Structure 1
Amino acid sequence: MVAPQRKGGRPTLKDIAYITGLGVTTVSRALNDAPDIGKATKARVRLVAQQIGYRPNRAGVRLRTGKTNVISIILNTEEEVMGMTASMLNGLAKAIGETTYHLVLTPYNLDQDPLDPVKYVVETGSADGIILSRTQPNDPRVRYLTEQKFPFVTHGRTNMGLEHAYFDYDNQAYAASAVAALTARGRQQIGLIAPPNFMTYSTHMLEGLHTELEKHNLVEVPIRNINTDSTANQIEAEILRIMMSKQPLDGIICASPHSAMAAIAAVETSGRVIGKDVDIVAKETFDLLNRFRPDLIVFEESFKSAGYALGKMVISIINGDEPSKHQMLENPKR
């Protein structure tokens, strides 16, 4: 069936409804990935929409529904590229690309209050849902959005007693598994290049580290002057200083690929061989580190999968799902 001939103008929901034999409301809900619409129906509606070149009139949608069809991901402008941005946006784009929603990146920098961009989106009504990263145990952004009853999801957890949707990597298990892998190779002088201590996953990682070290009657060799927000030069310089000291590390756990690359450079500059004199454990966010240094101990963390899951979650929350139904924890895999 083809749509009736119209004089110019852009394709509308009515055209899709006519071609598919569905109601306009059903078509609209299918395009917005409503959970009560079947997968086959959604696929048929999207195919027709693509074939006839349908694009929603965002101004009209907002007038009719009060919605913008926009999802905002709020990212720090200094977020490490190797660790997050490209892969996560790829996953988000795939999830949101299956709907009528558009993804907008709202940036902020380290010197800025991270609550400011969140308030801007809410107060201007410039998006229907928000995706947050860099969560804190007591996160003012999560409290604000919960109080405002504004749809949101987080990449990371909090410790506030507030139910909210999240996707997180089990960093406690990662650190514990890293220690187990290092001790299995006879390593005893083990240190962690940790995330900043105000972030939730730093707490999780330290808990896993200390619990597993205690099992082996070991204590952490502290790496105090750097974290994953430090520059590569800063990390390399500090690790090199430790490696040239009287008590060098023989096992290094890295909380990010960025810190792993800097640690590798420092260890090799000190004249030591990775896999022989020192072992380094790192997160593999895409297939690079093991190609670069095959003797690394790596655990997979897929930011693309995280982005896809977060995209699906935020749309479900916008559509009225309970946040408690959308809480996912990814297990580390070697």
Structure 2
Amino acid sequence: MKVTGIVSEYNPFHYGHQYHIHKTRELTQCDVLINVMSGHFVQRGEASLAYKWDRARKGIEEGCDIVIELPYIYATQSADGFAYGAIRSLQLAGVDHIVFGSESNDLDALKQMAEITPAYDPSKSFAQSTQMQSNDILGVAYMKALKDTNITPLCIKRTNGYHDLAVKGNIASATGIRQRFLQKEDVSFLTPLSEALHARFAMEHYYPYLQMLLFTQAKQHLESIFLMEEGLENRMITCAKQCTTMKSFVDACISKRYTRSRIQRTILQILTQTTKQEVKQLSDLQHIRILAMNETGRAYIKQLKKTEVIIASRFNQIPKAYREMDLRAASAYAIPLSSEERLSFIKKELQSFIQVGL
């Protein structure tokens, strides 16, 4: 049986993602396609504009057999941390190939770069660690994470740049689609998930809560927050006193040392109250959480259950340390919702996966 893996965020799903799924099946002729996807928050340091359940369902409808969730702590790190969590999840899921998009589409060059880049340092962004400015940063991180696995990598040419704002027919980057959507422009021709997008999950709506935390929490506690290094908490407190919007706050915090993405990822750790100590004590990833699957996926999971892999089809089956982080992430994500909606949202978080086409 051929089992192939892909990694996604689908914030939102677009036609480049559709191409990725179809090309992956064409290249590998796989029997099972497994997708590991970010949950409520994504690697750029933002809240997803669509619920993860809607994104997971779309993944299945477009050709994946199983969608599993990348745990919060990996989904919100720089390239190396993100890649470790994604590749480890696919390894646990038993995949033999991974197919990812690449601007250069040069697998040998990515392998060579992976050999010379330094070890993963969670306190730094990948670009800071390597002085690398390539759009293939994530591809190199995948290659590094694959070193001690039996997973064979394949790459395909990206249909556009990762942050490209240009539109080519019905193809646009997720960044471009989000920007258009938040500017109240029509994006229905760019994403089949247009009706599932919610402007209330724009990061601006989290700013009052962030300000409150920065104003009321002791500096000693803020220093303990994951990714908070070298007095960044002082800079953030100062900026929070001067800035009235999330955008102006982030802009003010950016420096030569801290990139926009790094600032945004640190903000998420504050919102979720994730500390350095709990990340340091976190055990190696040993579980996969299923978000959605079809009949083919169900049959494969039945086989996988015969192994030692922890398969969490319900929230309470996730190991405790990861479960606590993921629940805090869900609670933080729900901040813009009404009280009634928030309770309903958390209840859904605790339920089992979505079954598509069964």
TM-score, normalized by length of structure 2?
0.27
Q: Which has the higher contact order (CA 8 A, sep 6+)?
A: 2
TM-score, normalized by length of structure 1?
0.29
